[in-house]
Structure 1
Amino acid sequence: MERHERIAKAIAVSGLKKGEIAAACGVANSAVTQWISGESKSLRPENLYALAKATGFRAEWLAIGEGPETQESNVATVPQPNFRYPVISWVAAGAWAEAVEPFPPGFSDRYEVSDYDSKGVAFWLEVKGDSMTSPVGTSITEGMMILVDTEAEAISGKLVVAKLADSNEATFKKLVEDGGRRFLKPLNPAYPVEVCAEGCRIVGVVVRAMMKL
């Protein structure tokens, strides 16, 4: 069995769609198509291991066909898909614009994995400052990673990443609607509430947060 045939089998058995495999490996859908067809003769190690993790098949078997296909276990487990998203800067997030493929290959040299299957293109941001550090309840401290889904519904009460008209960078706040107006409220009461008026653009909704140790 050729490598592309092993890859095709692993993807078929996993039940994952090409788009899900592409997200997990941090590549375009076309790259996955080329892996399956055998058109692509190269497969970067990080993509191989991401593919193995997403499908539940062993990387060694996928690469050279040696050893068992899957990790041996006495307990049957259902593979949990992991999706790989780029880590970008606050400036890049603030400059966000919709595109067919906003993150071309090589856009970011850093990726983080999540179990979240995004509705649109998603990316990670590392939180700066303490405006979202709260003494009670939900608190997002400096250094935590937040996953932003650019097509998740931005409704009142959600944590969002937005860009104010007078800023070149993104800002991270809680979206609050009152009397038909929208506001960006920090979780830290020491910071002021900002009006999300004309020129304010919601980049995306924060769907995951994690602490990097």
Structure 2
Amino acid sequence: MKEIAQIRLENARHLAEQAGGTTPFAHKVDREPTQMSRVMGANPSKNIGSRLARHIESCFGKQAGWLDYDHSRDHDANVATTAQPIRYHRYPVISEVQAGKFSECVVPYPPGSEDHYETTDYQAKGPAFWLEVTGDSMTAPAGVRPSVPEGTLVLVDTGIEPAPGKLVVAQLDDSNEATFKRLITDGGQKYLQALNPAYPLIRINGNCRIVGVAVEAKTKL
């Protein structure tokens, strides 16, 4: 069985081939080519650590953990036939979500009102958008996962059925206020739960609706 360091190295080299070489790869991940050569060159002197791996995934629109999975069979199949291009999808960043308390979030959004777009290889089942997390209510204690700290971009898919345990964006029925929390049930009662235990549960009693489910997160270093 391959070690995680070898798997990350092979996947990083594969991404570098797609990017056109180590130098274009380094520019894409905002690193110096010499630094990348030390971790993925012919004779690497360092391994690709977890933090760098997550950064590379984010820059290439990959889901967290993609670099840790052995894709050699996929790579071999592409070489044996015809290399298939990765299809990316663009979704708008429409506004911020206040993770610590309810705040304004315009949904649905009028065309042309988007600030900018972010890309991903995730194909949404319904209209989707990115929202930036602010505040610390979704920052879990150290060592606890998942944790969604301030500054993280979360991709919200409105076409997914919200289920208990999912991270969701909920919107008040009578306003444009929304919050980003985990949906849970207890004794038949639904609640919105922060990942930070310092924040209280928010009881759902007909005062809000679920806008969508968070399916991906990006954190810029």
TM-score between both structures, scaled by the size of structure 1 = 0.58
Q: CA deviation at 1:107?
A: 2.2
Choose the corresponding residue for 2:171, options 119, 142, 163. 163
Matched with 1:205 is 213
- The amino acid across from 1:160 in the alignment is V
Distance 2:173 2:191 in 1: 14
Matched with 1:180 is 188
Change in CA separation of 1:112 and 1:206 when aligned onto 2, cut-off 3 Å:
same
- Aligned residues: percent identity? 56
The 5 A counterparts of 1:86-165 are 86-90=92-96, 94-97=105-108, 102-104=109-111, 106-135=112-141, 136-164=144-172
Gapped runs of 5+ residues in structure 2? 1-78, 98-102
Q: CA deviation at 1:154?
A: 0.1
Distance 2:131 2:217 in 1: 10
Alpha-carbon displacement from aligned partner over 1:4-47 (angstroms, at most 9, x marks no partner): xxxxxxxxxxxxxxxxxxxxxxxxxxxxxxxxxxxxxxxxxxxx
SS in 1 for 2:163: coil
TM-score between both structures, scaled by the size of structure 2 = 0.56
SS in 1 for 2:134: coil
Alpha-carbon displacement from aligned partner over 1:59-98 (angstroms, at most 9, x marks no partner): xxxxxxxxxxxxxxxx55321111000001147973424x
Distance 1:86 1:149 in 2: 12
The 5 A counterparts of 1:74-85 are 77-85=83-91
Q: CA deviation at 1:109?
A: 3.3
Distance 2:85 2:160 in 1: 25
Determine if contact 1:93/1:203 at 8 Å carries over to the other structure. Answer: no
Q: CA deviation at 1:169?
A: 2.2
Distance 2:151 2:115 in 1: 18
Alpha-carbon displacement from aligned partner over 1:116-135 (angstroms, at most 9, x marks no partner): 10010000001010000001
Choose the corresponding residue for 1:190, options 184, 195, 198. 198
Distance 1:149 1:93 in 2: 19
Alpha-carbon displacement from aligned partner over 1:118-173 (angstroms, at most 9, x marks no partner): 01000000101000000112100000100000111100000000023576421000
CA RMSD of aligned residues (A): 2.3
Distance 1:164 1:128 in 2: 19
Gapped runs of 5+ residues in structure 1? 1-74
Determine if contact 2:95/2:106 at 8 Å carries over to the other structure. Answer: no
Change in CA separation of 1:172 and 1:119 when aligned onto 2, cut-off 3 Å:
same
Q: Aligned pairs, how many?
A: 135
Determine if contact 2:94/2:115 at 8 Å carries over to the other structure. Answer: no
